[in-house]
Structure 1
Amino acid sequence: MSSRREFLTQVGGATALGFLVSACSSSKAAGATNGASPFFYEMSLAEWSLHKALFANKITNLDFPGIAKKQYGISVVEYVNQFFKDKANDTKYLGELLTRCKDNGVTNHLIMCDGEGSLGDPDAAKRKQAVENHYKWVDAAKFLGCRTIRVNAFGDGSAEDVQKAAIESLSQLGEYAGKENINVIVENHGHYTSDGNWMVRLMKGVNRSNVGVLPDFNNFCVKREGGGTWSGKCIEEYDRYKGVKQMMPYAKGASAKTIDFDANGNCVETDYVRMLQIIKDSGFKGYIGIEYEGEKLSEDEGIRKTKALLEKVTPMLS
């Protein structure tokens, strides 16, 4: 395995890049707002909202910070590792990304990490490899001035076995990330992770201040036809409002997922007044990321409608 510490030493020794990191990362605390937002939170934009354009090569990951700021007026971004999968250790590429951030006045918040192995795999060797696969994204987050990486806690086996394995993996990954002042957060992303009770037990088992969760407003399918995590029709869903309320004590961000809207611009699948009230009542003060994932609207329109919905609903909260 290549030396992660050498990679970080390169970063620390590069004066120009150090300036860029400072310029692109104004947030000092995990998820803390920088004072620019009139709300109790600050909006960020999840790169997955533009996944169709990215997969179609209409835009690139390097374009993302500029698009967030210039097209949507959003100054905080959440990357998806799929769109720069082979660049985690590429200091030249990451330096260019930082330049794009600086030029647009954009803060890097987190990297969503997928495809690096199952942190909840009961097989010890596979689990160890999955943990080590995530190290490079901790390093990349450090380089970019992010405070957080988002991971998955998937695995094959019983709820108890997967949870036990994930506690071990997250503890190890959290220890590595903690040395670099980086948070590791788990999203409710299907199967066991979409069960609020399971997620709470997971967090209590890890019990690290830099390991938390990313509540997603819509990912609460706990059982699908055929038993898959992603494929198959959802046949059992956990109560999303209960789940978010349970997870908020461990939240270091939140994902404002939207799929569809009614004629009044309200989200069809989630009551945003109710959901945001839960988040506000928890005392949360961090970033809420816009993540449009619908099919009926263009990605551009979906992002704009989600942003408008947040702006409309937030002032209505008690």
Structure 2
Amino acid sequence: MDSRRTFLKGAFGLAAGSLLARPVLSATASLAERVQGTWFDISLAQWSLNKAFWNGEKDKMRFPQIAKNEFGINAVEYVNQFYMEGFSQAVVDELVRVSNGEGVRNVLIMCDREGRLGDPDEAKRSEAIENHRRWIEMARALGCHAIRVNAASEGTFDEQIKLAADGLRRLSEMGDLYGISVIVENHGGLSSNGAWLSAVMRQVDHPRCGTLPDFGNFVVDRETGEQYDRYLGTEQLMPFAKGVSAKTYNFMPDGYERDLDYGRLLEIVKTSGYRGYIGIEWEGSSLDEPTGILKTKKLLEMLGGRA
């Protein structure tokens, strides 16, 4: 309990410090004025087109081609769920061929449904670690720098830190053998608590292990609707970031996200020193997928991104 109080106290302290340190901006200052210059590259997360891939409207094997030809994006982030059924070396080889042919950079693979890396049952935790091996091997074949994983666990606040750190450390050691990093997204439960996930990172303490802050995934409890402060959480996760996910849901007429302060979020990212890829992840229902992707791309370009 004392440990948890320490984390919460630190979280509120950081929040207050952030507010005090943030410069007062003119009410007329645009978001673009708050984040100057071109300073990061844009990638496209495959999940942005999940409906089209699930219903067969688009071919999962042509994803790099789709990203480049339909959206003008030259870097992609795969989702393992689309390749689980019928997975084979031939599938990997074809994705390599298509991406190389289009000159598209393969950035990472988002991995789900492979077990809990922080499972209290050691045998299940070990199984989950081993289940990720094929995606690490695929990532190496594609030239990705990382796989994105989840830090799901069970137990008390502190128990879950220890369990998740154990699974992530062991998986990171596996990734090191292949030259692949293991990065964790805030993806529900305690992983959406920035203080908790940053504590996990400190305990893992492995150069191959990092975070992938997602601007939208700060719901700690879906049943109650409890949310962690997305700006504080992003600030806490950025020191460990090896990727960033630009989640969008709704747009205003001026082209900015309705519910997320993108100027503030990108200020946090830029101030951290991060200069890697920021991936488009459209997840709204107010627009069709292609339109949502293009609007997100335009917003990122206005705030310093290049496709």
TM class by smaller structure = 0.7 to 0.9
1-side partners of 2:53 and 2:138: how far apart? 20
TM-aligned CA deviation for residue 86 of structure 1: 3.8
- Listed as ranges, the matches of 1:96-111 within 5 Å are 96-111=94-109
Cross-structure match for 2:147 = 149
Cross-structure match for 2:247 = 257
1-side partners of 2:91 and 2:304: how far apart? 37
2-side partners of 1:237 and 1:272: how far apart? 18
Cross-structure match for 1:79 = 78
Pairing partner for 1:295 from 273, 279, 285: 285
- Listed as ranges, the matches of 1:162-311 within 5 Å are 162-225=160-223, 234-311=224-301
TM-aligned CA deviation for residue 224 of structure 1: 2.8
Q: Secondary structure at the match of 2:106?
A: strand
2-side partners of 1:135 and 1:161: how far apart? 25
Number of aligned pairs? 269
TM-aligned CA deviation for residue 137 of structure 1: 0.8
Q: Secondary structure at the match of 2:151?
A: coil
1-side partners of 2:259 and 2:121: how far apart? 37
- Listed as ranges, the matches of 1:3-82 within 5 Å are 39-82=38-81
2-side partners of 1:314 and 1:270: how far apart? 17
Q: Could you tell me the TM-score, scaled by structure 2's length?
A: 0.85
2-side partners of 1:133 and 1:120: how far apart? 13
Contact 1:273 / 1:314 at 8 angstroms: preserved in 2?
Answer: no
The more displaced of 216-225 and 187-196 is: 216-225
The more displaced of 78-87 and 41-50 is: 78-87
Q: Secondary structure at the match of 1:121?
A: coil
Give a deviation string over 1:83-110, Cα, whole Å, max 9, x none.
111455x222211111111121101010
TM-aligned CA deviation for residue 156 of structure 1: 2.4
Q: Could you tell me the TM-score, scaled by structure 1's length?
A: 0.82
Q: What percent of counterpart residues are identical?
A: 48
Contact 2:40 / 2:304 at 8 angstroms: preserved in 1?
Answer: no
Contact 1:257 / 1:292 at 8 angstroms: preserved in 2?
Answer: yes
Q: Secondary structure at the match of 1:179?
A: helix
Contact 1:60 / 1:83 at 8 angstroms: preserved in 2?
Answer: no
Unaligned runs of 5+ in 1: 1-37, 226-233
Cross-structure match for 1:93 = 91
TM-aligned CA deviation for residue 180 of structure 1: 1.0
2-side partners of 1:96 and 1:224: how far apart? 38
- Looking at both structures, which has the greater relative contact order when contacts are Cα pairs under 8 Å and sequence separation is at least 6? 2
The AA in structure 2 aligned to 1:126 is: K
2-side partners of 1:99 and 1:87: how far apart? 18
The AA in structure 1 aligned to 2:124 is: K
Pairing partner for 1:135 from 105, 127, 133: 133
Unaligned runs of 5+ in 2: 1-36
TM-aligned CA deviation for residue 260 of structure 1: 0.7
Regions of 4+ moved over 4 Å: none
2-side partners of 1:104 and 1:241: how far apart? 36
1-side partners of 2:221 and 2:57: how far apart? 35
Cross-structure match for 1:10 = none
1-side partners of 2:184 and 2:102: how far apart? 29
Contact 1:189 / 1:219 at 8 angstroms: preserved in 2?
Answer: yes
Contact 1:87 / 1:94 at 8 angstroms: preserved in 2?
Answer: no
The AA in structure 2 aligned to 1:53 is: A
2-side partners of 1:40 and 1:283: how far apart? 10
